Amino acid sequence: MRLGSCAVGLALALVGACGPTYSMTDDVDLTWDFAVTPRRFDDDLHSPYVRGAGVTVFAHSSDDGEDLRSWSIESSDPAVFRIDGTVASGGRDLAVRGQAVGEGTAALTLRDPRGHAMGHGVAEVRLPDAIELDAHGSLILGRDDEAAVHEARVLAGGAATYLVRYFQGGRELHGNGVLSADVPPGMTAAPMTTFLLEDREWLMLRTTAAGTGMVQLRADGVAAASLPVVVVTESEIADVVVLTEPESGHKDGDWLAALAQAYDLTGVRIFGVDYAWKVDGAMQLADGDLYRYQFKAGQHTMVQAQRGAHADAAQIQSQGGFVDSTNHVGCAAGGGGSLLVGLVGLGLVAGRRRRAPVTRPG
């Protein structure tokens, strides 16, 4: 299962033996790089959407000379997947804004200006029965198998951010903008949605006093999961470790990261901790749990993270970098017309393979 792709899009039919081919895709770029990832419009198969998600659906013609300016995409069942209007069109590309409204399956039809059906796609919409929260730092380092959080331990006075993933019957649902959360006293929950470069759903937990509680997670207003949260004091930090990405195979100039992670006496991760960083002994001006750096083969650098009496260091190959935080999740703004037009021409990608959900309704 892939880290996601919001999904619609089945291959559209050939029109005539020698005619152009048409393909559909959506506006999701889930390559973990926070950059536009160019890709040809292939006949991707995506499924399904989480109910309540908005998505831009693109149609593309293989004919360089074709103009889709007056073409349209319509839904067979607006109560399942509704088309709200054209976002952009021109040349061999068309973009429309859609909304996943209700559970079910709707056929999408690409029509030419005369109303002729030129191809068909499918949009499936589901409500989740499970939600998984993944630690952002683990994902940045590519440690997907360590990312899932079953009980969040967060430092009092700190903030921790998690990726939110939706599932129904073990199938991942794609889309964002549908999360809400109920939290106990002494804690706030801030759902965040990133668009355009990396379409994802996030949850930031901020804490004050130590204690325990349950965070109830809802998707499009429907309860889908609960997460135990333990808010700990500074004295419960027993160790700090600096974790790094594998540098093998990278070229000079690639951006990599080192992550500082705190643990309690039982080896459970503590989130929401900021650290003081030194690079080759020089104190850095910012606090955070990440050090992002540009790789430089053979240029060895020692990075150290410290929290109170606990510190750890790791050697990296770097030509410079900066302190950052896993609470920074990228572009959190809605779609602008100019960028959407650009994405029409570029195509969008699916990301790395992922595993089955682990967080079930409480």
**What's the CATH code of the domain at 245?**
2.60.40
pLDDT tens, per residue, the chain with 362 residues:
333 333 344 334 333 445 788 888 876 655 554 444 333 334 453 668 999 999 888 888 888 888 898 999 999 999 999 999 888 877 888 989 999 999 999 999 999 999 999 878 889 999 999 999 999 999 999 999 999 999 999 999 999 999 999 999 999 998 889 999 999 988 999 998 876 545 788 999 999 988 999 999 999 999 999 999 999 999 999 999 999 999 999 999 999 999 999 999 999 999 999 999 999 999 998 899 999 999 999 999 999 999 999 999 999 999 999 999 999 986 553 333 333 333 333 332 223 333 333 333 33
* Per-residue pLDDT at 87: 86
Q: In this structure, is residue 215 part of a structural domain?
A: yes
pLDDT tens-digit map of 123-153: 999 999 999 999 999 999 999 999 999 999 9
Residues 339 and 312 occupy one common structural domain: no
- Whether residue 119 is contained in a domain is answered as yes
**258 to 189, 323, 337: CA distances (angstroms):** 26, 10, 36
Task: Look at residue 63 in the predicted model and tell me its pLDDT.
Answer: 87
Please name the residues in contact with 357: beta carbons below 8 A apart, sequence gap of 6 or more: 130, 131, 132, 165, 167, 170, 172
Q: 199 in a domain, yes or no?
A: yes
Spacing of C-alpha 208 from chain mean position: 27
Residue 198 is part of a domain; what is its CATH number? 2.60.40.1080
Q: Is residue 175 in some structural domain?
A: yes
Residue 356: inside a domain: no
Structure confidence at residue 44 (pLDDT): 56
Cα–Cα–Cα angle for 273, 133, 98, rounded to 5 degrees: 125
Separation between Cα atoms, residue 81 and residue 57, nearest integer Å: 11
Query: For residue 310, what are the domain limits?
Result: 238-272+275-324
Per-residue pLDDT, 329: 84
What pLDDT is recorded for position 7?
37
Can you read off the two tokens belonging to residue 9? 């899009």
What CA–CA distance (Å, rounded) separates 58 from 71? Answer: 12
Q: How many domains, the chain?
A: 3
Same domain, 54 and 120: yes
Helix H or strand E segment including 216: strand 211-219
Angle at 108 between CA 102 and CA 110, to 5 degrees: 155
Tell me whether residue 360 is in a domain. Answer: no
